[in-house]
Amino acid sequence: MQRFAAALGLVLMLAPAGIAAQWGDLSLRIVYDSDKLPVPKPIDAAGVPFCGGLAGLKFDDLLVNPKDRGVANVFVYLLEDAGQFAVHPDYARSPKKEAVMANKGCAFEPKAVAMQLSQTFVGTNPDPVGHNMKLDSFDNVSFNLAIAAGGKITNTFKLPETAPLTVNCTSHKWMAGLVLVRSDPYAAISDASGKVKLANLPAGKWKFRIWHERCGFVNKATLGGKPVEWNRGHIEWEIKPGSNDLGDILVKPVVFKE
């Protein structure tokens, strides 16, 4: 109880002086702006132990839902220096200690992970063959670690990253995962229908970023029927108390380098 009270007090101290903290949720949906949808290309794993016997292996760097054109695995996150904003008391409790990504079925599952510095990254291998995880970092120590069948690796990060990091399996070069490391909880990844929600953001005007594996920072889109351009993915949105639903953000194929 004492630890929680201390953590809660620290959270509330992050709010700007003299301003009562108010909170809002940000919702949006990333939509592929074309009726001609990309079809994931099959992976030729012929002759590769175990992987070659799996049906339906496909590249997953651009996944668009054929039912609603939603784009999966798009990162949306608050881009501000920690300490400039308040963090909702609900986040005072530590998140799950581990952020897990598995080498499963010769692909990374989940494909994309958003985690905080307080968490430990865990790479597992439920497959019956060996894998490895090679992560190239901008601001942290990179690693390249083998994972035997049934094994796991762990890693901690000391610094937040400004963009997602790529994880590869050098034994199976088609495998690619994504890890975003932040010092705050305000990062989310779009689901299979392109939906993203950031809950309990501090009210006010803040900078955000939208990032996808194919293009990096999303810098052009259509929002509310109007074209918008965001320099290096820097987007300023005002978060008002309560619900803030931006609706569909339409992104053309050329942005995804189609």
State whether residue 133 is helix, strand or coil. Answer: strand
Q: How many CB atoms lie within 10 A of CB 106?
A: 23
Q: 3-state secondary structure string, 107-123? A: EEECCEEEEECCCEEEE
Measuring CA to CA, how many Å separate 68 from each of 29, 64, 165, 202, 212? 10, 8, 28, 31, 18
Question: What would the pLDDT profile of 100-126 be if each residue is shown by its tens digit?
Answer: 999 999 999 999 999 999 999 999 999
CATH 2.60.40.10 residue window(s) in the chain:
1-92+185-258
In 3D space, the residue among 92, 85, 88 whose CA is nearest the CA of residue 15 turns out to be 85
Written as six digits, the tokens of 4 are 């929680």
Class of the CATH-defined domain 96-181: mainly beta
In 3D space, the residue among 95, 104, 108 whose CA is nearest the CA of residue 129 turns out to be 104
Residue whose entry in the numeric block shows the structure tokens 């598995």: 102
State whether residue 241 is helix, strand or coil. Answer: coil
Question: What would the pLDDT profile of 136-166 be if each residue is shown by its tens digit?
Answer: 999 999 999 999 999 999 999 999 999 999 9
Torsion sign across C-alpha atoms 2, 8, 11, 12: negative
Question: What would the pLDDT profile of 80-91 be if each residue is shown by its tens digit?
Answer: 776 788 899 988
pLDDT value of residue 16: 43
pLDDT value of residue 93: 73
Residue ranges of the chain with per-residue pLDDT less than 70: 1-20, 82, 94
CATH 2.60.40.420 residue window(s) in the chain:
96-181
pLDDT value of residue 82: 65
Q: Quickly list DSSP for 164-206.
A: PEEEE-TTSTT-EEEEEEESSS-EEE--TT-EEEEEEEESEEE
Q: Fold for 1-92+185-258, please state it.
A: Immunoglobulin-like (2.60.40)
pTM of the model: 0.90
